Amino acid sequence: MLPATRSCLTRLNSPASTLMRLRIHEGLRPNLGRAMFSSFSQPRQQQKPVQASLIEKTLTKNPKPLVADKDLIFGHTFTDHMLTVPWTKSDGWGKPQIKPYGPLSLDPSCSVFHYAFECFEGLKAYKDANGKIRLFRPNMNMARMNASTQSLNLPQFNGDEMLKCIEELIKTDKRWIPSKPGYSLYIRPAVIATEPTLGVHESRSALFFCICSPCGPYFPTGFTAVKLFANTERVRAWKGGMGNRKVGGNYAPSVLPQVEAAAKGYQQVLWTIGEDYELMEVGTMNLFVYWTNEKGEKELITPELDGTILPGVTRDSILKLAKSWGEFKVTEGKINMKQITKASDENRLHEVFGAGTACVVTPVKAIHFKGKDYDVPLNPNDPSSETGPLTKRLYDTLSKIQYGEIPHEWSITVD
Ligand SMILES: *Cc1c(COP(=O)(O)O)cnc(C)c1O
């Protein structure tokens, strides 16, 4: 900041002088004018941070009947309450409210409806054998959400305080967390832009909200390996894009390729990029390949975080676990379809799986690429098995940590 600029500004502090301030800045430093203007246009009063101590709770007068475990379909049932925290550019974060679950009332001009001004998170609450509520590395979700809001010029928040608010919601709806093994409460926080204007510009108001949905195991009758269709026409994300952010705009365009793959008999899309068809992700999961690489080494490899890959909490946990075992090479790097098909032909491909919060891991049994199916082995010692041994071991270890059966710093109790 130039000292001269500062003294100009102390004299120009009425709202009517806003435009003048901009001119002054542009005059002084043409390239920095915009950035400087935005910091000067901040209101004089401090933007309020999220404060969990201010939570206002209104309990429902009509608690809903619980849905039987066997009838739970992912994302169909919601608990009795939700959390909302409003934000405005002038005041910052408002009072967190826990209130009966129900529709939001929003002006149809709100930018969330027109320009995908939205980002979200997905994590789970688990009930352990002692009936305690557990979360798995939730601070990673808070940090990732702040990275997403930052990319959309939506507000950031103090992750610890926001997590306290979410924990209060989960405790309020504790009776909705199923206690059967493999069952959990899926937690969906989101931030939307709520400024009711059609201009494509930053939103001066936003809403954080969080809803919860009880859910069963992704594979209720044990693992079912999936077939992937390598999409060679569309890309999910690209360098400099938003692939590493959980922003709503990334997901709607992924549905048609998914529907087309399903119509051909493939359950998931394998996203690739570039002339070499580098592997990216599987549907909305991170991708892992366990193989004997070209140097003859056993290696677990997942695409590196080059900006096109969603930095999954499950991905990071798998990498750390596998490294701690020290039994094979663990790599974040590049791997392309040519390497996969060659490894498949030479029997060097051992296991392929997707990884994410919803499923933990999803075993893959085949990959379709340019007109041909390449088989991926599952368990060579058990032809009836629907999962490879490493995939299963990772699933078992992570699940036990999540349910508190293996004590680990990643799993925290909430109540
Ligand atoms: C959410 C998500 C994942 C998995 O992330 P987790 O934190 O492990 O649940 C992977 N890929 C995409 C595209 C995602 O949206």
Backbone phi, then psi, for 249, in 5-degree steps?
-60, -20
pLDDT band at 2 (very low <50, low <70, confident <90, very high): very low
Sequence-separated (6 or more) residues with CB below 8 Å from residue 215:
72, 74, 75, 124, 183, 184, 185, 186, 358
**Cβ–Cβ < 8 Å for 402, 396:** no
Residue 280, ligand 1, Cβ within 6 A: no
| pLDDT on residue 391 | 97
How many Å apart are CA 210 and CA 166, to the nearest integer? 7
Instruction: Please state the rounded mean pLDDT for residues 236-260.
Output: 97
For the CA of 140, the closest atom of ligand 1 is: 7
Residue nearest (by alpha carbon) to ligand 1 atom 13: 284
| pLDDT on residue 96 | 98
Task: Check whether 35 has a pLDDT greater than 70.
Answer: no
For the CA of 250, the closest atom of ligand 1 is: 13
Residue nearest (by alpha carbon) to ligand 1 atom 5: 312
Instruction: Please state the rounded mean pLDDT for residues 380-399.
Output: 95
| pLDDT on residue 37 | 44
Residue from 83, 112, 104, 110 nearest 95 by CA: 83
Task: Check whether 57 has a pLDDT greater than 50.
Answer: yes
| pLDDT on residue 394 | 98
Mean pLDDT of the chain, nearest integer: 90
Task: Check whether 5 has a pLDDT greater than 90.
Answer: no
Task: Check whether 285 has a pLDDT greater than 80.
Answer: yes
Task: Check whether 7 has a pLDDT greater than 80.
Answer: no
How many Å apart are CA 284 and CA 247, to the nearest integer? 12
Q: What is the pLDDT of residues 140-171, one digit of tens each?
A: 999 999 999 999 999 999 999 999 999 999 99
| pLDDT on residue 44 | 52
Q: How far is CA 373 from the centre of its chain?
A: 30
Residue that wins the pLDDT comparison between 338 and 5: 338
Residue 389, ligand 1, Cβ within 6 A: no
| Dihedral, 114, 116, 120, 122 alpha carbons, nearest 10 | 100
| pLDDT on residue 352 | 98
| Dihedral, 161, 165, 312, 281 alpha carbons, nearest 10 | -130
| pLDDT on residue 388 | 96
Percent helix, percent strand, percent coil in the chain, to nearest 5: 30, 30, 45
How many Å apart are CA 173 and CA 211, to the nearest integer? 10
Task: Check whether 8 has a pLDDT greater than 50.
Answer: no
CA 389 / ligand 1 centre spacing (Å) = 23
Pairing assessment for the beta strands 285-292 and 278-282 based on DSSP bridges: antiparallel
Biggest distance spanned by C-alpha atoms of the chain: 80
Q: Which amino acid is at 280?
A: M
CA 282 / ligand 1 centre spacing (Å) = 10
CA distances from 272 to 50, 97, 357, 414 (A): 39, 42, 22, 39
Q: How far is CA 148 from the centre of its chain?
A: 9
Degrees (nearest 5) of the Cα angle 239, 258, 272?
Answer: 30
| pLDDT on residue 220 | 77
CA 139 / ligand 1 centre spacing (Å) = 15
| pLDDT on residue 19 | 39
How many Å apart are CA 269 and CA 105, to the nearest integer? 35
Mutation pick for ligand 1 pocket among 140, 270, 284, 317 (CB with most ligand atoms within 8 Å): 284
Q: What is the pLDDT of residues 91-127, one digit of tens each?
A: 999 999 999 999 999 999 999 999 999 999 999 999 9
Residue that wins the pLDDT comparison between 219 and 402: 402
Q: What is the pLDDT of residues 165-221, one digit of tens each?
A: 999 999 999 999 999 989 999 999 999 999 999 999 999 999 999 999 999 988 877
CA 318 / ligand 1 centre spacing (Å) = 13
Residue 286, ligand 1, Cβ within 6 A: yes
DSSP string, 226-237: EEEEEESS--S-
User: What is the number of H-type helices and E-type strands within the chain?
Assistant: 10, 19
Task: Check whether 80 has a pLDDT greater than 90.
Answer: yes
Residue 361, ligand 1, Cβ within 6 A: no
CA 312 / ligand 1 centre spacing (Å) = 5
Superfamily in which the 226-413 domain is placed by CATH: D-amino Acid Aminotransferase, subunit A, domain 2 (3.20.10.10)
Residue 312, ligand 1, Cβ within 6 A: yes
Q: Which of 20-29, 262-271, 285-294 has the lowest mean pLDDT?
A: 20-29
Residue 86, ligand 1, Cβ within 6 A: no
Looking at the chain, the whole-number percentage of residues with pLDDT higher than 90 is 85
CA 115 / ligand 1 centre spacing (Å) = 22
CA 281 / ligand 1 centre spacing (Å) = 9
SS3 state at 101:
coil
What pTM did the predictor assign?
Answer: 0.89
Kindly state the tokens that stand for 93: 């974060």
How many Å apart are CA 105 and CA 210, to the nearest integer? 15
| pLDDT on residue 304 | 98
* 52-215 classified as CATH 3.30.470.10: yes
CA distances from 211 to 14, 124, 330 (A): 42, 11, 36
Q: What is the pLDDT of residues 299-320, one digit of tens each?
A: 999 999 999 999 999 999 999 9
**Beta strand extents in 34-179 (DSSP E only):** 56-57, 81-88, 92-93, 97-100, 118-120, 123-127, 133-136
Domain assignments of the chain as residue spans, ordered by start = 52-215, 226-413
CA 121 / ligand 1 centre spacing (Å) = 9
Residue 244, ligand 1, Cβ within 6 A: no
Residue nearest (by alpha carbon) to ligand 1 atom 14: 284
